[in-house]
Structure 1
Amino acid sequence: MTKNGTYVVGVDIGGTHISSAVVDVKQKKILEETYATSHVANLEPFDVIMETWASTLNKTINASQNLALKGIGFAIPGPFNYKEGIAMYPEGFKYGALHEIKVVQNLTPLLISSDEIPIRFLNDATSFAVGEAWLAEEEGLERQLFITLGTGLGAGFVENGIPVVNGPNVPPNGCLWNLPYKDGMADDYFSTRGCVNAYHELSGETVTGVKELALLFEFDPLAKQMFTEFGTDLGSFLAPWLKRFNADALVLGGNISKAYACFGQALQASLNQNEVCIPIRISNHMEKGAIVGCTRVFDQDFWKNVKNNLPEL
């Protein structure tokens, strides 16, 4: 395999999984026969996590059948030093065994490639945003806010295909999750645990997640109230940033977005009340949007625009 090909391996690292596939970057298309995914127990020791990651990547590399691979792009959550490829996860927490580990130096020897394939990193929410924007660029939208609603709140402000992480029109590092909100921060409310906690406060009952709440929506008025308040609050939280960024559209991804029918009307009404009248789109690609998006780090023009702005934490 050579490093000058038009194919890039995209990798999505989630809280409990790793997925990888070869992307034909000319066609913006995942080669489905190269897709591989594995469950990851994120509290396992360092060597177990590395071996699981390598095993999954090796399935993808092996299935590529000697295509010329230009590199491997990782969509990976923070805290992470994206410039140096160093995991900064706190010890004792998710992926804590990787604390201060240099991923490239530890992962590359475990890969089956006869050549050393270059590896670059991009935040997972940013990767999702970049992938979605790239796949929908024919729509002609200039500025979009992409958010992922799941175990946490991810965000990506994208202008003409490039993530915006600095400047007066976006929050620091383009992140929304850590902004103060009510009695904590946004991540505490616009996430799976936020929904579970809100329902528990209303009903005294404990549910496993948003999927269960969505099943209750039609016949449980407290579940309906929870979703209505979620949509209303999300709209009022996002509205100032949508205005400041002058966004053309809001795009939702993540598992909670699958319950859009339960909170979408309240979200739209809240945005309208805050004088934000833009279309809301639900991702058609989800995880695969991130796999496609992170491969952009091997596009010369894209890399030139982002490499100096990659978060170091």
Structure 2
Amino acid sequence: MNTSYAIGLDIGGTHITAAVIDKTEMKVIDFSLHKESFDSNLPVDQVMNIWKDVINTSIENSKVENIKGLAVCMPGPFDYENGICWIKDQSKYEHFYGSNVRELLLESLKFSNDFPVLFENDAVCFGKGEVFKQQENLSRKVMAVTLGTGLGACFIDKGISVNSGDSVPKDGEIYNLPYKEGIAEDYVSARGLLSHYKALSNIDLNNSLELYNLALNGDQPAIQVFEKMGEDLAIIVLPWIKNFSAEHIIIGGKIANASRLFMPSFKKAIHESGTKILVSISNNNEIAALLGAVSFLRD
């Protein structure tokens, strides 16, 4: 059997992860996983240099010479078909608005213009990857949610991503759903956590990791903020769990690492609603996203 290889790329607001994927076996090639944290609000050329170094390191470590494509998980809003970034006013990629990321990648990596580059929503990649990781999900309706600098979601019915129709929100997105005095992402995201903590303590923190460490050390406002986020998340997703008839909800993203702090209040709200659904925290967000991205090259 001929083996085909592709690069999987998971790009977030504060990180990039790359790996070379065996498309035949759908597995990460040993030693190829490489990641780096960075400031996505740097100028475009500086960001592209960071991406290039991470991708090239991954390829070099894999010892694979014949790469057949590049599959990229990107947060939205983004024109996934044409590779154009429309992210604006989200505290990330502030210099990328209107940029053709496909062309930037091809130029930076010195790949030919016909080299296959595919883009997909980061939450959709995560959800698809979780299906590959847990084969029983191929027969289920699954809702996947990513918690990080933003709030992502996808809906998967028996392995197929669903982003239209009455059973899911517009484009399968929940970040922009009206919620309280704004939208869902204002409350369930890194900035939502930090904003709530500032309101309670009048203290500005640099990132959600600082908040997480405070909560672990018993800081009551920090604990309260995570508990409230779990409750808010449940309120936001419940109507769509019911609409989609989801049987399994999987939560990933960087903030999922703090699940011990928000899952009790999330599960409590789900239970009190009378909704029965399997709830899981992803045990490897990055691998799921990379596998999910490359699965679209297989499709």
**TM superposition shift of 1:53:** 1.9
Structure 2 counterpart of 1:191: 189
Structure 1 counterpart of 2:177: 179
Structure 1 CA distance for aligned equivalents of residues 234 and 4 of structure 2 = 40
- Report if the CA contact (8 A) 2:8-2:18 is conserved: yes
**TM superposition shift of 1:77:** 1.4
Structure 2 counterpart of 1:8: 6
**TM superposition shift of 1:230:** 2.1
Backbone CA RMSD of aligned residues: 2.4
Structure 2 counterpart of 1:100: 98
Write the letter of the residue equivalent to 1:101.
S
Structure 1 CA distance for aligned equivalents of residues 179 and 128 of structure 2 = 26
- Report if the CA contact (8 A) 2:131-2:138 is conserved: no
- Report if the CA contact (8 A) 2:30-2:62 is conserved: no
**TM superposition shift of 1:18:** 2.0
**TM superposition shift of 1:34:** 1.7
Structure 1 CA distance for aligned equivalents of residues 276 and 102 of structure 2 = 44
Structure 2 counterpart of 1:154: 152
Pick which of 195-204 and 276-285 moved more: 195-204
Q: What is the total number of aligned residue pairs between the two structures?
A: 297
1:241-260 equivalences under 5 Å are 241-260=240-259
1:204-242: CA deviation from partner (whole Å, max 9, x where unpaired): 333444434444446333333333322222212211110
Structure 2 counterpart of 1:303: none
Pick which of 63-72 and 14-23 moved more: 63-72
Tell me: CA distance 1:243–1:206, structure 2 relative to 1, closer, same or farther (3 Å).
same
DSSP 3-state at the match of 2:9: strand
List gaps (5 residues or longer) in structure 1.
301-313
List gaps (5 residues or longer) in structure 2.
none
TM-score, normalised by the number of residues in structure 1 = 0.86
Pick which of 202-211 and 115-124 moved more: 202-211
**TM superposition shift of 1:173:** 0.5
- Report if the CA contact (8 A) 1:157-1:163 is conserved: yes
**TM superposition shift of 1:164:** 0.8
**TM superposition shift of 1:255:** 2.0
Structure 2 CA distance for aligned equivalents of residues 111 and 279 of structure 1 = 42
Structure 2 counterpart of 1:84: 82
2:57 to 44, 48, 59: 59
1:29-80: CA deviation from partner (whole Å, max 9, x where unpaired): 1113122223433233332222322222222233343443231100011221
Tell me: CA distance 1:107–1:139, structure 2 relative to 1, closer, same or farther (3 Å).
closer
**TM superposition shift of 1:257:** 1.4
Structure 2 counterpart of 1:278: 277
Tell me: CA distance 1:149–1:67, structure 2 relative to 1, closer, same or farther (3 Å).
same
Write the letter of the residue equivalent to 1:110.
S
Pick which of 117-126 and 134-143 moved more: 134-143
Structure 1 CA distance for aligned equivalents of residues 250 and 290 of structure 2 = 17
Structure 1 counterpart of 2:39: 41
Pick which of 151-160 and 43-52 moved more: 43-52
Write the letter of the residue equivalent to 2:188.
F
Write the letter of the residue equivalent to 1:80.
F
Structure 2 CA distance for aligned equivalents of residues 20 and 115 of structure 1 = 21
Structure 1 CA distance for aligned equivalents of residues 90 and 264 of structure 2 = 40
1:97-117: CA deviation from partner (whole Å, max 9, x where unpaired): 333222233322332668953
Structure 1 counterpart of 2:15: 17
Pick which of 93-102 and 289-298 moved more: 93-102
Structure 1 CA distance for aligned equivalents of residues 69 and 11 of structure 2 = 16
- Report % sequence identity: 35
**TM superposition shift of 1:276:** 1.1
- Report if the CA contact (8 A) 1:5-1:70 is conserved: no
1:289-308 equivalences under 5 Å are 289-300=288-299
Structure 2 CA distance for aligned equivalents of residues 59 and 239 of structure 1 = 42
DSSP 3-state at the match of 2:195: helix
**TM superposition shift of 1:5:** 4.7
1:199-278 equivalences under 5 Å are 199-217=197-215, 219-278=218-277
Structure 2 CA distance for aligned equivalents of residues 106 and 209 of structure 1 = 29
- Report if the CA contact (8 A) 2:131-2:137 is conserved: no
Write the letter of the residue equivalent to 1:193.
R
DSSP 3-state at the match of 1:199: helix
Structure 1 CA distance for aligned equivalents of residues 207 and 103 of structure 2 = 37
Tell me: CA distance 1:271–1:9, structure 2 relative to 1, closer, same or farther (3 Å).
same
DSSP 3-state at the match of 1:98: coil
